[in-house]
Amino acid sequence: MRTDAQRAAKYLAKVSPVTVGLKIAARLPGMKTGFTAFANSFAPMQEDVAAQLDIMAVPRLMRGRYQAFAAELWRAKNTLGDPILTDEAQIIHDKWESRGNATLTMIAIALNCFNIIVT
C-alpha cells in the first residue's frame, strides 16, 4: 500500500514541467495538423457569414449571435448527413430564433452559406 508521500511524489513527477513539456512536444505535430484542417474549413465559413451579414445590414453589435448560429450549423454539416442534418439545422434555427435572432437573416445564412433550407 502506498503512503501519502509516495502518492504525492508520483503526482509531482507526473505534472513536472519537464514531463508535461515532453508530452506536449510529442503531440504537437498532430495538434498543428488538426488545427490547420479546422482553420482551413472554419475561417472561410466565417468570412462567408460576415459577407452575408453585410448584405443583410446586420449591426456589428448583433453579429456575434449570428456567427454562433453559423458555427453550430457548420459543426452539424461536418458531422451529420441528410436527413438528420436538415432536422438538426431546424432545431438550431429554432433555438437561436428563441434567443432573438431574426428568422430571415438565419434563413439567408443557412441557404447561402451552407445550402441548408430552414424555415
pLDDT classification of 76: cutoffs 50, 70, 90: very high
pLDDT surpasses 80 at 61: yes
Mean pLDDT of 77-102: 92
What confidence score (pLDDT) does residue 46 get? 94
* CATH 1.10.1330 fits domain 4-114: no
What confidence score (pLDDT) does residue 71 get? 96
What confidence score (pLDDT) does residue 101 get? 92
Q: Break the chain into its structural domains and give their ranges.
A: 4-114
Asked whether the beta carbons of 65 and 99 are under 8 A apart, the reply is yes
User: Each residue of 13-33: pLDDT tens digit?
Assistant: 888 888 888 888 888 888 888
Asked whether the beta carbons of 49 and 113 are under 8 A apart, the reply is yes
Positive/negative CA dihedral, 23, 29, 34, 39: positive
pLDDT classification of 102: cutoffs 50, 70, 90: very high
Mean pLDDT of 79-108: 92
Give the contacts of 111 (CB within 8 A, at least 6 positions apart): 117, 118
pLDDT surpasses 90 at 69: yes
pLDDT surpasses 80 at 1: no
What confidence score (pLDDT) does residue 34 get? 87
